Amino acid sequence: MSLYILLSLIFLAASFTQGLTGFGFGLLAIPLLTLLIDIKIAIPLCSLQGLLITGFLSLRLKRHIDHRKILPLLLGCLPGIAVGVIFLKKAPTWLLGTALGWLLIAYSLFWLCFRPRPVGMHRLWAYVAGFGTGAISSAFSAGGPPAIIYTTLTGWSKDDVKATLSGFFLACGLFIVAAHAASGLTTITVLRYFGISAPAVILGMVAGSTLYDRVDTENYLRLLLCVLLGMGILLLRTASGG
């Protein structure tokens, strides 16, 4: 099967997940993309596609967006982006794969084994979550976990959480894409793959958002987490040469 078709199918599934749940695009897309293309191409490509996702979702949920909730996340995110870009440029491919594998395993086990309840998070934790998101997003294009965990523990409503994450990921993504371009990571190959697979991203995003209120998201998320756990283990085996 053509590489372009496989890339489009991966982005279709990942964008559907993001449209349905508000997260999961990079977490699902990156490990699958690394089976087909180099991780240092997959990450800036996924960051570009992520802008389509978060831009669309931010427009849909704009009445729920509270900039006071997003600002501390974004301020923490900026120095994190610089750290992540340096790591992406300097780290060998095997180390990137290993780190991403452990990230997927830890995140999946956390949500499968624990049921975190709202605890009224202090505002300072938003800066920590923002820094973690910026660093992981720019290095792996899968930086959702820190921000997702933070917003889940705040006790905000479902729409407020999804709107805050979408608005924050959009703003953070703009800075990440600019940093990737400035550091030379966004190549002609990345842009070609982006143009070819963008229609699949839009289609999946619209489909997922349409089913947002009609699908049992809890069971869907449990299945997704099991898939992510398996992909994390696969990445570790691949990175170690197993």
* Residue 13 binned pLDDT confidence (cut-offs 50, 70, 90): very high
| Sign of the CA dihedral running 32, 130, 218, 160 | negative
pLDDT of residue 61: 74
Report pLDDT digits (tens) over 105-139.
888 888 788 776 766 667 788 999 999 999 988 98
Distances 174 to 58, 119, 155, 177, 181 between C-alpha atoms, Å? 13, 31, 27, 5, 11
Q: What is the DSSP-derived secondary structure letter of residue 63?
A: G
The answer to whether residue 242 scores a pLDDT higher than 60 is: no
The answer to whether residue 75 scores a pLDDT higher than 60 is: yes
Report pLDDT digits (tens) over 25-35.
888 898 899 88
User: What's the mean pLDDT in 1-18?
Assistant: 90
Cα–chain center distance at 148: 10
Nearest to 144 by CA among 32, 42, 53, 11: 53
Contacts for 16 with CB less than 8 Å, ≥ 6 apart: 204, 205, 207, 208
Kindly report the length of the chain. 242
Q: Structural domain boundaries of the chain?
A: 3-239
Nearest to 32 by CA among 202, 188, 224, 240: 224
CB 130 within 8 A of CB 83: no
Nearest to 88 by CA among 29, 23, 28, 42: 42
Phi/psi-derived region of residue 22, left when phi > 0, alpha when psi is between -120 and 50, beta in every other case: left
Nearest to 129 by CA among 151, 107, 112: 151
pTM (predicted TM-score): 0.83
Nearest to 56 by CA among 93, 29, 19: 19
Nearest to 176 by CA among 40, 45, 81, 58: 81
Question: What tokens were used for 92?
Answer: 């060998």
Lowest mean pLDDT among 88-102, 154-168, 185-199: 154-168
In what helix (H) or strand (E) does residue 213 lie, and over which residues does it extend? none
* C-alpha atoms less than 13 angstroms from C-alpha of 189 in its C-beta half-sphere: 12
Contacts for 182 with CB less than 8 Å, ≥ 6 apart: none
User: What's the mean pLDDT in 147-176?
Assistant: 82
* Residue 11 binned pLDDT confidence (cut-offs 50, 70, 90): very high
Distances 64 to 23, 29, 67, 134 between C-alpha atoms, Å? 17, 27, 10, 23
Distance, in Å, from the CA atom of 178 to the CA atom of 180, rounded to the nearest integer, reads: 6
